[in-house]
């Protein structure tokens, strides 16, 4: 069945640096969603990408959907301590719309 893979699993970042987390699917996705879960909290929706090659920005966060709609990335610039948490990507399969979440990238920030 479909698997959504995320790398890296852990990202230790120096405050002020940039980093990117990647999401890859074995099958085509109708859309890709990104969520953030703070420690002790629940996942919170960040954004949804639908179109092939789509790029969206939210302040220091840049989200991209691949041309083949099988991969996506989240790039964070000038990391801040408020960026701490686990970032999940999720995509519904095009055939049966089951939503599959990646394992997440857990981000810690060194001040």
Contact set with other proteins (CB under 8 A): 1, 30-31, 33, 35, 41-45, 48, 88, 90, 92, 96-104
- State the nearest-atom distance from the C-beta of 49 to other proteins, in Å: 12
H, E, C per residue of 33-97: EEEEECCCCCCEEEEEECCCCCEEEECCEEEEECCCCCEEEEEECCCCHHHCEEEEEEEEECCCC
Q: Smaller CB distance to other proteins: residue 17 or 94? A: 94
- Closest contact distance (angstroms) between CB of 59 and other proteins is 18
Residue closer to other proteins by CB (options 59, 96) is: 96
Tokens 């990104």 -> residue:
34
């Amino acid at each position: 069945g479909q698997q959504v893979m995320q790398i890296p699993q852990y990202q230790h970042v120096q405050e002020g640096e940039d980093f990117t987390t990647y999401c890859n699917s074995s099958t085509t996705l109708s859309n890709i969603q990104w969520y953030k879960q703070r420690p002790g909290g629940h996942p919170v929706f960040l954004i949804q990408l639908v179109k092939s090659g789509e790029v969206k920005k939210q302040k220091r966060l840049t989200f991209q959907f691949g041309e083949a709609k099988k991969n996506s990335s989240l790039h964070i610039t000038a990391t801040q301590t408020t960026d701490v948490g686990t970032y999940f990507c999720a995509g519904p399969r095009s055939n049966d719309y089951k939503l599959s979440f990646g394992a997440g990238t857990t981000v810690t920030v060194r001040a």
